[in-house]
Amino acid sequence: MMDLVRIYLGVALFFKGIYFMANREALLQIMERAGSWSIAPAAIAHYVVPAHLVGGVLLAIGLLTRFAAVAQIPILIGAVFYVHLPEFTLMSVEPRQNLELSALVLFLTCLVCLHGSGRFSVDHLISKGQPQDTPPLPKPA
């Protein structure tokens, strides 16, 4: 089941990266709603889009899974606590759904980070080809 969660998260994050790449204005509006940032919005956009694109593909195929999940966590923490949580006090429908969805994706990404890649992944295929233990030494005659 965790393999399906990992694959789904990877595909969803990849498509979110494509959405942000095609609609830069949407990403800039999200950052503007969050308030003033100490670093430039362009720097944030240059981290969010590649991290979602590359990290999404890596999660989907199960290659460098924990690294890809850890790269997503700062983005998701920012989305939950700095973008959507302040809007939660307004109690309108849209921000609340975005908060719940972002929190769910953050939670599932943390689970994937803790669990690892699973059996249906490139990481598993690579580690399966490697010898796990050294062969026992032959007994002296």
Q: Is residue 8 part of a domain?
A: yes
Q: Is residue 129 part of a domain?
A: no
Q: Is residue 30 part of a domain?
A: yes
List, for residues 47-89, the tens digit of each pLDDT value. 888 999 999 999 999 999 999 999 999 888 888 887 777 666 6
- Lowest-confidence range among 27-31, 97-101, 137-141? 137-141
- Count of domains observed in the chain: 1
Q: Is residue 113 part of a domain?
A: yes
Q: How is the chain classified by DSSP, letter by letter?
A: -HHHHHHHHHHHHHHHHHHHHH-HHHHHHHHHHT---SS-HHHHHHHHHHHHHHHHHHHHHTSSHHHHHHHHHHHHHIIIIIIIHHHHTT--HHHHHHHHHHHHHHHHHHHHHHH-S-SSSHHHHHHHHS-SSPPPPPPP-
Q: Is the pTM of this model over 0.85?
A: no
- Lowest-confidence range among 35-39, 96-100, 110-114, 134-138? 35-39
Closest CA to 13 of 64, 62, 72: 72
Q: Is residue 102 part of a domain?
A: yes
Q: Is residue 139 part of a domain?
A: no
Q: Is residue 39 part of a domain?
A: yes
Q: Is residue 81 part of a domain?
A: yes
For residue 51, the enclosing domain spans 2-124
List, for residues 1-51, the tens digit of each pLDDT value. 888 999 999 999 999 999 988 888 877 777 776 666 556 666 777 888 899
